[in-house]
Structure 1
């Protein structure tokens, strides 16, 4: 039987992952690239936990095809997918801000 606690774990860890990803972008915008990368890694760690919980639930469904799915699980999956997308885009944003910083330093060195 899949409990609400099982499903809630996905929501909690995916929510943490998304929040950390968004905070990482803000840190990168401030030029704090090292801090942003640390937050991104923490985001990925939370996402990994959410994903493992999701995998465990899917295994329960595989072992018991009569297990009813519910909207709460769909909601949790939506949170996880949003967190995955946020984390993926955050890496790109951090990389862009890092390149911008390097260009600024290069331009200052030439003036």
Structure 2
């Protein structure tokens, strides 16, 4: 049987992953690339835990096909998908801000010469 606690774990860890991803983007935007990368890694770890809980629930459904899905589980899956999207974009934003930071340094050096 799938408990509310099982489902809640997805919501908690996916929510953490999304929040951390957004914080990583904020850090990158502020030029703190190393900090952004560290926060992003923490985000990915939270997403991994959420995904494991989701996999565990899917295995329970496979073992007990008579079990009905509910809106709470649907809500949890929505949180997880939002977190996956956020982490996917976060990687791109960090890379973009890192490249912009490097370009700014190059332009400053060129301006000095």
Q: TM-score scaled to structure 1, two decimals?
A: 1.00
Q: Cα deviations across residues 18-53 of structure 1 (Å, max 9, x unaligned)?
A: 000000000001000000000000000000000000
2:16 aligns to what? Answer: 16
Offset, 1:68: 1.1
The match for 2:49 is 49
What corresponds to 1:66 in structure 2? Answer: 66
Query: Residue 33 of structure 1 aligns with which residue?
Result: 33
Structure 1 gaps of 5+ residues are none
Which residue is equivalent to 1:110? 110
CA shift for structure 1 position 75: 0.2
Report the TM-score when normalising by structure 2: 0.98
Unaligned runs of 5+ in 2: none
Which stretches of structure 1, 4 residues or more, deviate above 3 A after TM superposition?
A: none
Residue-pair matches, total = 111
Deviation (angstroms), 1:93? 0.2
Match of 2:83 in 1: 83
Distance in 1 (CA, whole Å) between partners of 2:97 and 2:11 is: 29
